[in-house]
Structure 1
Amino acid sequence: MGTLATRELQALTPADNGRRLADGHGVFGVVRAGAKGISVQFSLRYRAGGRVRELRLGTFPKSSLRQIRDARDSARARISCGEDPLEHKRIEKLKKLAETGAEVRSLEDKLARKTFRQRFNEWTDSALQKRADKGQEIRRAFEKDVLPVVGDMAMEDVRRAHIMSSLDAIIARGANRLANRTLTDLKQFLKWCQAREYVSVDPLLMVLRQR
């Protein structure tokens, strides 16, 4: 336990600014009076490696006395096992930074991997602008049959089986001519992607007209 009570901390005034409060077992708090009110910053003083060290335990009232004392008990348990709580805290912080860095890199990789839809939009916005309808007919066809299947996939992850499932669905409703027209447009699009190294291999290279 400790020597302080929550009601004592709640009764502090600006006149107590800078005052040092003892909570026993090496724990002390320093009163701070600021624009947002009174706070008490608690720390644990201990010895490790022949040096006196101080570990921040929390700030009242953001942290309760119970939470501050739990942090104290956890730190003292480490000290009794020969560990340095400050060193442990530093290592944990480094681990979190490493994890955050890995998450950021993963997110960056995902953002760099554009989807089939994004590449398709780039194609229609550039390569199809000379067409009379600016590629609107192809857009409508792809929006109906292709993009719902592969639109949200990373472009380099799209395989022949994914695209063929779109064409098979068109054939299944008896629209063979549309299936062949869509196949032709897909091949043009994929050649455009391959020329820009958005894909390494054209997944439809050996696919012939649909019957």
Structure 2
Amino acid sequence: MLTDAKLRALKHRETLYRVTDSAGLAVEVPVNGAPRWRFRYRFDGRAKMLSLGTYPSVSLAQARLRRDAARAQLANGIDPSANRQEEKRSRSLALAPVPTFRSVAEIWMSRQDVSEATANKSRWIFTKFLYPDLGALPLREITSRVVLDCLRKIEGADMLETARRAKIRVGQVFRFAVIEGLTDVDPTQPLRGALKAPKVKHHAAIVDPVKIGGLLRAIDGFSGQFVTLCALQLAPLVFVRPGELRAAQWSEFDLDGHVWRIPGERMKMKAAHVVPLSKQAVSVLRKLHEFTGHGRYVFPSLRSAHRPMSENTINAALRRLGYSGEEMTGHGFRSLAATRLNEMGWNADAIERQLAHAESNKVRDAYTHAAQYLKERTKMMQAWSDYLDSLRAGGKVVAFKPQAGSAA
């Protein structure tokens, strides 16, 4: 424990050093300059450090009070460092005489709890298409006409889907600004129907049973990385979204219980999802566990075990197997399963729940929602894996159907 006497006796050394107090508080003595208070803690499994001021401007008693305040934030699930940065951004925004679209958009983006891929796509839209025309303009000067002129440029380049997404992003920024009291209206509201509707492009998928069998045999013959092979083999057995599969973490799996529980923060609709695992899926995972089970990710990147595999890995592997982007995609495993399961007579609601299709305003308690139709889905997922085995073996294609009266 530090005391005022010990603090006054601190001397500079040739290298920086720290002297601990208690509960994560320490004083850091640099080679030159005043000693600095530091609070060391862990958040979301990561070691972090928060600056609490310098000594003697901040006394020992004051440093302990600041440490205790940070600990209270941690107890409430708040990262003290991130919270401080957010407060600084908010103060900067409040002090800015005229908030611009770009300054508000940057703050809005910083507050979004989305995947890295989604965040990168949003930043690309802002940087390439929106900031050049809207970025420097004060919010209150951006009218519906100004927004439409910006969007029409994107539309004119025949990027209809990008124009639609750009309009959504502008609306999200303005609704955030309205809530924060920075402006009064969302100029995108009158633009409903003003843009050309993009053609719906479905993810390529193989749905013919004979061709599915050929795909499964091709996957089993994949000669690339073992982790990629396992991802290809597991994809048709669980048919989750590609991002949910590639970022899977071992902590989410109960292999003995044959279940995969995906937390809401990793799901598109932000609702937790339960995936019953067939014996075939568990077999793939157990073999893979010998290789990657010591780490966080089930399918780690080849470059770093601290990151999941690239979002392009599955599609690249399918291309390597000879399937073009017009024939099959990683997302296509969902369409493959949905098409066949519906044709075979399984409960449509159970299929939709297994696909994690749900409107966000229908989501209540996360795991109650996730467990809907769980008994029937468990039966369906095992029957589906058995069916895929029969197709892989080139056997007679039989449309298996659930027995009458199966639980829903």
Q: TM-score, with normalisation over the residues of structure 2?
A: 0.24
Greater share of strand:
1
TM-score, normalisation: structure 1 = 0.45
